[in-house]
Amino acid sequence: MEAKKQSAVLIVEDEPASLNLLASYFTAENYLVYKANSSAQAEKLFSEKVIDIILMDIKIPGKTGLELTREFRSRSGVGIILVTQKNDDIDKIVGLELGADDYVTKPYNPRELTVRVRNLLDRVKYRSSTGNNNFGDVKTVQFGDWTLHIGKRALHNSDGNEARLTEGEFQLISTLIQHAGYVLNRDQIMNQMKHRDWFPTDRTIDVMIARIRKKLGDDRTHPKFINTAHGTGYIFVADVAYN
């Protein structure tokens, strides 16, 4: 019987004790682990190895984790989890805006960390194997002057402009499109996205909505596509055509 392929995790952390501790967590969970203690080393490993998940501290020598997030996201759909300090709310939000899928705060719980990585890995593998988000045989979805290409996970408008979507953004807009005309609260959106556990103060959904609106050129005060149901959630208001 063919051995099951190990999933590869790249850990980017400049503090040796934390780096080795994280590596031991994931080695024990049967992941193939690559370690980097600087941005240069992380870039080298990312270019040379097949990486499934990146677990990256924001504050590292050289380029910051936020800069690397932008760089890696522009090149790949790899899963990215940022490690932040407890009170770094701005870094968390900026990281999500740049394309990170999730974040954890120090001090982290090893079990929670491995669960988050496993859940993100499931989403990354699902995207890679199917290229869609419960769209069946649908290849494109049209709304307004935009076309969502399911397999490419990208948006194109009638002027030929392209907007690439992160995994989280793709899942979010897919969820809203599939429930067009209906208000979805944040709980319902998170459940549909299978994103992660969250709390009422969590701004993950709001941050991703803002990113999607920016890519669509959708004015939140006069939206053509995603409307805010104040105190409730969001609704996709445009007409949708499946192809």
Q: Is residue 32 part of a domain?
A: yes
Task: Answer yes or no: do 202 and 231 share one domain.
Answer: yes
Residues 122 and 14 reside in one and the same domain? yes
| DSSP codes, 72-85 | HHHH---EEEEEE-
CA dihedral sign, ordered 218, 221, 212, 138? negative
CATH code (residue 164):
1.10.10.10
3-state SS, residue 188: helix
> What pLDDT sits at residue 198?
52
Confidence (pLDDT) at 136: 61
Question: Which domain range does residue 217 map to?
Answer: 140-242
| Domain end marker among 107, 130, 153 | 130
Beta strands per DSSP E along 91-225: 102-105, 140-143, 146-149, 154-157, 162-164, 184-185
Residues 119 and 160 in one domain: no
Instruction: Look at residues 90, 105, 130 and tell me which one is the last residue of a structural domain.
Output: 130
pLDDT tens, per residue, the chain with 243 residues: 344 568 899 999 999 999 999 999 999 999 999 999 999 999 999 888 888 899 999 999 999 999 999 888 877 778 899 998 766 778 888 888 888 888 888 888 888 888 889 888 877 765 554 444 556 667 899 999 999 998 888 899 999 888 888 878 888 999 899 888 888 888 778 777 754 545 555 677 888 899 999 999 999 899 999 999 988 899 999 999 888
Is residue 228 assigned to a domain? yes
Q: How many domains does the chain have?
A: 2
In this structure, what CATH number is given to the domain that contains residue 106?
Answer: 3.40.50.2300
Q: Which residue has the tokens 């953004």?
A: 169
Cis-peptide, bond into residue 107, ω within 30° of zero: yes
Supply the pLDDT for residue 29.
Answer: 92
Look at residue 202 in the predicted model and tell me its pLDDT. Answer: 64
- Order of strands across the sheet with 241-242? 162-164, 154-157, 146-149, 140-143, 241-242
Cross-strand bridge partners of residue 225:
none
